[in-house]
Amino acid sequence: MPLSPDRRLQLRIACALALVIGVNAVVLSVLAWGVHRGLSASGHAIQFDLGLPATVGAVLLGAIGLVAVQARYGSKRVVADLETEPIEGDGPRDVGARVRRLAKQADVPVPPVAVADRDEPNCLTIGTQRSPTVVITTGSLKQLDDDELDAVLAHEIAHLANRDLTVVSAVAAIVAIGDRLLERERTLREFLVSIIVVAFYAIAAFWIILLLAAPFLVIATLFIFVSAVARLLLAVNAITIGLFAKTREHAADRGASELTGDPAALASALETLSGDDRPNRDARLDASATLGIVPQSLSVDRSDDGDEEGWFDRWFVSQFSALRENISNYSANEEDSATPEWRDQESTTAEWREPDYSADDEPKSWIVEPFVESLVSPVRNRVRRLLSWRPATHPTTEARIEQLQTLEWRRRN
């Protein structure tokens, strides 16, 4: 039975696209205003007399063109590090044949299929609505049984039938930009902390504080700007994803159930894909999590790869972090070397021993600790939770399984 697009989802997609176009229009307007002000300050101003309607129209056309580029290249750029191998013929476990059968059943063009050599079980669709590619990981091929594999592939075919790939690709591109800005924000924050610590230890050397004042002000200004833009994009992404993400996945789940006639198989597949033994990396930090059937990151984690350290991290952040560590170690060594002479003298009555403080039995100040525990720690924890908050890209697995159980009950009755 051919699948028809979900009308409720189409309305939400239209609202999400309107919001994405509006965000791009604002960005283009700010860039155009900045360029115009810069040229005016340099005495090379360019006069435009298009009128308000023509100006608004030009900005909207530019925004639509930018969204079209994001929709075309967004999903592929997000998973650029994901090495995929196109399937010729049926492929492993007859994946190609399964997709062809499901696509014909849903009355949608048969998409190419590729396999990604990743242990994380997931399945996603990349590309554009006119030229999509269904990508499945080797982890999915190993862990899913035949019925579950059919259900997962039917879920991706349902996305094509619902025509939601354009908006999710554009949103994924914006989420990727926000992710990179948040990474820069964390880097700048670490740099600022390093400068403050170095200045604190070098408080006696006034010239060092004066030397660090200028870079501190520059980095602080850059940090405030990057943080503001990143948080603004995060808010926009939260609104955009909230408009269609959950409805999108629920609609695809219903479509997959119609294609396979087995909602229980998809529910079982979701439980398998959303197992508890997944990597600890928070998928909400990654734009690739918006594309898969489950919110599992599919990008390469380069956090432990020292060779990929950028020039800013290598020449600035790392240097100040190393200097901060060296100063801390030097201060600790100075304290250890300042041992009273009486400690080294032998005594006939008693022998002096260094107090042995364990991690849970450290000396604490009765003045400072109550203040820290009651006031500072709660505020610090709330700030950390606020800074680490990210919008959910998918409905919860429990909610999806509950919907599928309802569909299974209706099918049997």
Tell me how far CA of residue 354 lies from CA of 32, 339, 344, in angstroms.
Answer: 67, 11, 12
Q: Is the pLDDT of residue 283 over 50?
A: no
Q: How confident is the model at residue 333 (pLDDT cuts 50, 70, 90)?
A: low
Per annotation, catalytic residue among 120, 156, 185, 249: 156
Of 132-136, 196-200, 298-302, the range with the lowest mean pLDDT is 298-302
Contact 160, 106 (CB under 8 A): yes
Residues 6 or more apart whose Cβ sits within 8 Å of residue 190: 317, 321
- Burial class, 252, CB count within 10 angstroms (exposed 0-12 / middle 13-18 / buried 19+): buried
Cα dihedral across residues 49, 52, 55, 57: positive or negative: negative
Q: Is 183 a catalytic residue?
A: no
Q: Is the pLDDT of residue 140 over 80?
A: yes
Q: Is the pLDDT of residue 338 over 80?
A: no
Cα dihedral across residues 311, 313, 317, 323: positive or negative: negative
State the Cα–Cα distance between residues 355 and 340, nearest whole angstrom: 15
pLDDT at residue 43 in the model: 73
State the Cα–Cα distance between residues 81 and 37, nearest whole angstrom: 39
pLDDT at residue 263 in the model: 92
pLDDT at residue 345 in the model: 43
pLDDT tens-place string over residues 204-263: 566 666 777 787 888 888 888 888 888 888 888 888 888 888 889 999 999 999 999 999
Higher local confidence (pLDDT), 38 or 50:
38
φ, ψ of residue 370 in degrees (nearest 5) = -60, -35
pLDDT at residue 344 in the model: 45
Nearest to 236 by CA among 33, 73, 16: 16
φ, ψ of residue 130 in degrees (nearest 5) = -85, -25
Average pLDDT in the 119-143 region? 90
Tell me how far CA of residue 83 lies from CA of 24, 114, 313, in angstroms.
Answer: 30, 10, 27
State the Cα–Cα distance between residues 254 and 263, nearest whole angstrom: 8
Higher local confidence (pLDDT), 110 or 55:
110
Element (H, E) at 146: helix 146-162
